Structure 1
């Protein structure tokens, strides 16, 4: 690209750019948005009991409306842009959750598929536009490529983050350290001369598991080494933080390049970029080695669809649940489980799936109250409920397996 072309693109970008300048504020609000994407999706799906499919459909409609608003604008408007990011974050999270929870797609497979899809999006985008830079979003086609890439990065970050937690068994707090460390490594590479576009998109993908893990840390009960804030309060806290940051940026225009201000572009140094590409390769190998080591350590296997992860204690003595947990709550869980078993035995599979959703919702709502009362008993029941959910929701349900898991759960519930 010639110097004249660069100048023309710079002038166009200053007039028509639909995205913010990449500053520290950009990364702060991006992490806040990813945290909301995790906690808000969980709150609507689980706490409100709306369900994954209906929640995903709702947010797909909202995404279409908000993205249409963003595309109609002729300049960067902080409120609309970051509202779009929040909605994309929630929607991308829900798409991955549907694959994992409803369709039983292994996280390793969904991570690979989303990674391949992102490579395809970037490939077509580059072939058509000859750049992947966020500073080049000056036309509708480029903006559409940009938002498609953003959506896929959220889905990929969700799948990769969940997969990492599954194979390592890391809990809230600890799980924040890996994506934070990788982002720091990417930033260091950028400071040392790595390709700016590559560094940007690497960091963009990594902020998704960082924000999700941060949200889990805030929302998880203290018995699980979280902060015990809860999904609803976590969503409110981070939404308020996003709103405050957006208001600040709207007033100060700290992330907007004025018409007369030159683009902040660092001249490329091919030799340095190749060296830093090798550095990123080393970082990736070390991260992979850490995950392999962590997966080999003793931990509870929470992988989706893994029927071998049943706890050593297959059931609880009824008095253990009735002694430590409120009788009214145990009765509620037992009633739902019995209803589900009855429907399974009657061949009413769809009704069984609907009924067991009530069990999942009620159990998740009571987690913060019940888990501190008897963590050992709670862990066993939680695992049994998880196995029952997987059995009933399997793509090809086995009535024998369904009955066994539900009967085991009923025994524990007295």
Structure 2
């Protein structure tokens, strides 16, 4: 190795390290500031549920704004969105002329179902909601252990994320009550509007008025992000999926895991009174080849400390009205979901072969842009909390 190449390599590593240090400082300080703002919102608006909800939603938007802005600093990516024009009007996604970012007209009450490849799939889907200014309205179903992460766990509980322990008897009650509140609030008949449940069963199931909508109350949008596979694709989970498929007499998939219908069906049933649309999203990551695993390539260590991220993230989106989905029949819904995943498996085969889903541009609208988001929400949180911290010292200095 020549001296110049050695210096260039060392300089490159130094630049990466500087970016990582800056990103970590931003992440830690912003997380503390966002959590502090949540505490302030809960205290100040203790008796005003609607304003408290608005405040927490702002901190939710601030968190994803901070996370995406940090990732853009250390490991920038681009996103290519394709939409099925038969179910999503052409022009739903477009370039915002003011800032050059991708924007959209996504429906305001939706469920997203997607294949699960890497641990940060949810970040890209959360970004997708931000294109329609819905980043503060996102709800994610997560495994129970994440609830106890210091600081972040407290924030996620404030966001009303849904934590599952993967024991259906317990998870059924959690889903029923959590989604029931989301649905009731979206129709103006929930706790934010000062309403109470119509009844509560002995086992703790809470029921809201599902027959009416209060037009005089504010409507609260939502987007529930679901991964019916339950976990991301890996050698271990692929083998488990193969075994389970053979056990129930289904053909196993090559590129995706077998989806689990129970939780997905229960979620759609609970949200049916208010749900506008179900978005079916297939995600592909550049750099991942057939037989490889995105979760092994784009690890947290590789992304944060090496700046290695997918240069291009592909998302293909189709939309389904709730009346098109056979949720009232358990077996029919299971078959419908299996067929949905079979199409994802086919699309992923094409993706691994060509580096794109290779969709006909006439029936499928395509738009490409940077994986970016406005930094205003998290910047506002940081400035506000830092101002509160500095204020006593400023007053002391002026009065001494």
Greater share of residues in strand: 2
Q: Confirm or deny a common fold (TM above 0.5).
A: no
Q: Looking at CA atoms only, which structure, 1 or 2, has the larger radius of gyration?
A: 1
Greater share of residues in helix: 1
- TM bucket (normalised to shorter chain) is under 0.3
TM (norm. structure 1) is 0.25
TM (norm. structure 2) is 0.25
